[in-house]
Structure formats: C-alpha cells, structure tokens
C-alpha cells in the first residue's frame, strides 16, 4: 500500500486533476501536477506544479523521482510519456491502456476482439476506404475522427456517401471511423475502480443526456431495468480486466430501441458522468482513484440519495456571472466550480448536483435551476 504522506503525481491540470488533487490532499497525500498551462486549475491547488510539456524529459524525471505513483486525468497524454515514467515509479493506468483508448479505431477493434458489441463500424483511411465503408455499413452514419475527438468535436452526421465525403473532407481526410447511427433508447455509463489485484467496484449506473455532443446531465440511478444495469456493469468489468487496468475507468453505452447494449467509448480516467459521486455516494470517484492507484481497499460505492448532475457550460456566462443565488437558495443543490478563468460556449466551467429521494422531482428542480441561472 502507498499510504498518506506519500507523493502522488498527476499528468494533467484540468478539473479532473483538480478534483483528484482535493481528494488526495484531504486524505493526507502530497500531489505534484505536471501541466503545460501555468494557470491550470489543478496546478494552482497542488503542492507543486511542474509547468512543462508532457514530453519534457527533465520534468518527467523530476516528477517520477519525487512520486510513489503517477496517474493521468485524460487519455491524450502521449503513451511514450508513461513509458518514460515507468522506468522510475509506478504508473497507473498503463501506457497500453491509454494507447488502446486514445484512438477510436484501436479502441473499437479491441472491444470487438474481446467479444463485446459496438455499433457497426468501419475504419476509414482514404477516399476509397470511405466508399467501401459506406457499402458495408447501413446509413445513417456518424463519421468520427480516430484521435483527439471529445465532447462532440471531430464528428459529423451523414446520410449517404455524398454527405459522408463532405464530413471526411471537413475532418481533414485523416483516419476516421464510419459508424452506423443506432436507434437510441438511452445512453448510460458505468464508472468503476479496479485495483492491481483485479478487484473491481462499480458505481451506480448513470443515465446520460447529451446536447450537441456535450454531456448535459446525468441522472442516477439510471431508469433502466435491473438486468440492463447489471449487464452494463459486467461488460465494464470485462473491459477493465482485458485492459489489466488499475485506476478509475468509465464506459459509455448505447441502449438501443431493441434493448441491445452497445459499448460506445472507454475513458481511462474519472468521468464527467461520475461527478454525482462527489455528493451522492459514500466514496467519490476521485477518492476511489486515489485508493486504486495506492493499492488501498476500494471505498463503498453505495448511493446515498438519488441525484441529478448538470453541467454548467460557459454559455451561462454572458457579460457577468450566472445568477448563483438561484442555485444557492436550494438546500438540496450542490455547486462545484472548476476555477477556470475564461468562460467560452461549450466549455465545462462547473457542475451542479441536486439530491432528492424522488428522482423525477430532482430532475424537474434541476432543470428549473438551470433556467434560472440564465436569468
């Protein structure tokens, strides 16, 4: 076990790294953040901030020699960085886990190879490959850039070969996947913690609503049959096992109108849809991340109260701050702001959780608060 008093390293200084840092320091650990942004939210609250690029070998050596274990807050840290760090200290999750999940083609092939279902897809590398893909996959389509796509960025809808060609051109004619746009009943996700021993602990399944590709809200517990929730947890555990994963992992699923559960994406880190755990579970996903990488027993994932988590995007900020009094007057509402200096449309500036024994009432109240925040 890596016990309090030890030093933990975090690659990435955004809000996920920030919430990890709060959890780790609360538990008595020191935290060193490496992030190229001199004003990163996590860097401002860590014990130490190394302001350097992720491939800066001198900074990586300094980080590794000071830390007992290093983890990540996002999947696009170069896998080579983790291999360099692995020469001096424990790195969790592994470079292999990041390599498989930071490229959609590799990720989709991996999911299929271990026997789990995805939406029908085809890898596309050039114009001819796009024509082959459109013949192999039934429309309508989603064309997604293979790397560096998130929150709806790097993807376009298409109805036929002509519109798929336009989408491919907009994406720079780089490696993509062409995926069948499935008939969705719901989108759900599972966040779990997995230790090096192989023990896994799943948080309650979240039901997610997206707007323009960005998560709008998560409702917990998900309004799906118990058998579907259990199957999603089992599939997520299977993925974590196949990755030999250590840390916190999120798996997003499509639930089709026919009741089929399809793996959409894997996130090798705490996840936006798991933010509800900060207020509504015995253990947050960030404390669980600390526990897993430090080889401590998993904290309880029990849900204390039904909850709805709502993202607060930069769209709420106009010339001034949102009307916070509209939220703070509600005793069941919990506000989390990430300390980002500049608000932009679509940028995640914070989130709100609303807890209520009646999940329908919680949803109604949370949506009303969101409207009131806009004035």
- Note whether residue 337 is domain-resident: yes
- Note whether residue 106 is domain-resident: no
For residues 310 and 354, the answer to whether their CB atoms sit within 8 Å is yes
- The list of the chain residues with pLDDT below 70 reads 151-152
Distance from C-alpha of 181 to C-alpha of 139, rounded to nearest angstrom: 7
Q: Which of 146, 165, 180 is the last residue of a domain?
A: 180
Query: Are residue 234 and residue 350 in the same domain, yes or no?
Result: yes
Query: Are residue 81 and residue 226 in the same domain, yes or no?
Result: no
Q: Is 145 helix (H, G, I), strand (E, B) or coil?
A: strand
Query: Are residue 42 and residue 84 in the same domain, yes or no?
Result: yes
Query: Are residue 61 and residue 158 in the same domain, yes or no?
Result: no
- The DSSP annotation for 74-140 comes to STTS-HHHHHHHTTTSEESS-HHHHHHHSBHHHHHHHHHHTT-----EEEE-SHHHHHHHHHHSPSS
- The DSSP annotation for 310-368 comes to EEEEGGG-SSS---THHHHT-TTEEEEE---S---TT-EEEEEEEE-SSHHHHHHHHHH
pLDDT of residue 375: 75
pLDDT of residue 152: 66
- Average pLDDT across the chain, whole number: 95
Query: Are residue 171 and residue 194 in the same domain, yes or no?
Result: no
For residues 206 and 219, the answer to whether their CB atoms sit within 8 Å is yes
pLDDT of residue 309: 98
- Note whether residue 70 is domain-resident: yes
CATH code, domain with 149? 3.30.1490.20
- Note whether residue 146 is domain-resident: yes
pLDDT of residue 317: 92
Query: Are residue 251 and residue 305 in the same domain, yes or no?
Result: yes
Query: Are residue 214 and residue 164 in the same domain, yes or no?
Result: no
Q: Which of 145, 162, 180 is the last residue of a domain?
A: 180
User: Which two structure tokens, joined as six digits, stand for 183?
Assistant: 């008939």
What's the pLDDT tens digit per position in 307-348? 999 999 999 998 789 999 999 999 999 999 999 989 999 999
CATH code, domain with 46? 3.40.50.20
- Note whether residue 98 is domain-resident: no
Which domain covers residue 339, as residue numbers?
184-373
CATH code, domain with 347? 3.30.470.20
Query: Are residue 176 and residue 202 in the same domain, yes or no?
Result: no
For residues 21 and 31, the answer to whether their CB atoms sit within 8 Å is yes
Query: Are residue 346 and residue 202 in the same domain, yes or no?
Result: yes
Q: Is 19 helix (H, G, I), strand (E, B) or coil?
A: helix
Query: Are residue 306 and residue 241 in the same domain, yes or no?
Result: yes
- Note whether residue 171 is domain-resident: yes
- Note whether residue 102 is domain-resident: no
- Count of the separate structural domains present in the chain: 3
Query: Are residue 209 and residue 265 in the same domain, yes or no?
Result: yes
pLDDT of residue 151: 64
**Considering the entire predicted model, what is its pTM?**
0.95
pLDDT of residue 22: 98
Query: Are residue 173 and residue 206 in the same domain, yes or no?
Result: no
Distance from C-alpha of 140 to C-alpha of 90, rounded to nearest angstrom: 45
- Note whether residue 327 is domain-resident: yes
């Amino acid at each position: 076990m890596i016990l309090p008093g030890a030093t933990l390293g975090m690659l990435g200084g955004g809000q996920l790294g920030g919430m990890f840092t709060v959890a780790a320091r609360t538990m008595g650990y020191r935290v060193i953040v490496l992030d190229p942004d001199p004003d990163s939210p996590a860097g401002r609250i860590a014990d130490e901030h190394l302001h350097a690029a992720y491939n800066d070998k001198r900074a990586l050596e300094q980080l590794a020699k000071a830390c007992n274990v290093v983890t990540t807050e996002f999947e696009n840290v170069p896998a080579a960085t983790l291999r360099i760090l692995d020469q001096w200290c424990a790195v969790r999750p592994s470079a292999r886990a990041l390599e498989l999940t930071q490229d959609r083609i590799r990720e989709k092939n991996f999911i299929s190879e271990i026997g789990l279902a995805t939406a029908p897809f085809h890898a596309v590398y050039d114009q001819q490959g796009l024509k082959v893909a459109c013949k192999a996959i039934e429309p309508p389509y989603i064309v997604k850039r293979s790397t560096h796509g998130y929150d709806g960025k790097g993807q376009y809808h298409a109805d036929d070969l002509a519109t798929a060609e336009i989408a491919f051109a907009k994406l720079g004619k780089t490696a993509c996947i062409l995926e069948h746009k499935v008939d969705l009943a719901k989108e759900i996700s599972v966040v779990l913690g997995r230790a090096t021993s192989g023990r896994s602990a799943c948080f309650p399944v979240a039901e997610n609503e997206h707007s323009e590709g960005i998560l709008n809200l998560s409702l917990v517990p998900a309004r799906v049959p118990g058998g579907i929730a259990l199957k999603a947890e089992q599939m997520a555990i299977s993925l974590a096992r196949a990755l030999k994963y250590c840390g916190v992992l999120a798996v997003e699923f499509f639930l089709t109108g026919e009741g089929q559960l399809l793996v959409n994406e894997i996130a090798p880190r705490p996840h936006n849809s798991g933010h509800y755990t900060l207020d509504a579970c015995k253990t947050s996903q960030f404390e669980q991340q600390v526990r897993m990488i430090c080889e401590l027993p998993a904290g309880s994932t029990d849900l204390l109260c039904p909850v709805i988590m709502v993202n607060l995007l930069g769209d709420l900020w106009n010339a001034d701050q949102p009307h916070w009094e509209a939220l703070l007057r509600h005793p069941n509402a919990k506000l989390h702001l990430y300390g980002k200096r500049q608000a932009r449309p679509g940028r995640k500036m914070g989130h709100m959780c609303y807890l209520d024994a009646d999940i329908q009432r919680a949803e109604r109240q949370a949506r009303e608060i969101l409207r009131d925040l806009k004035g």
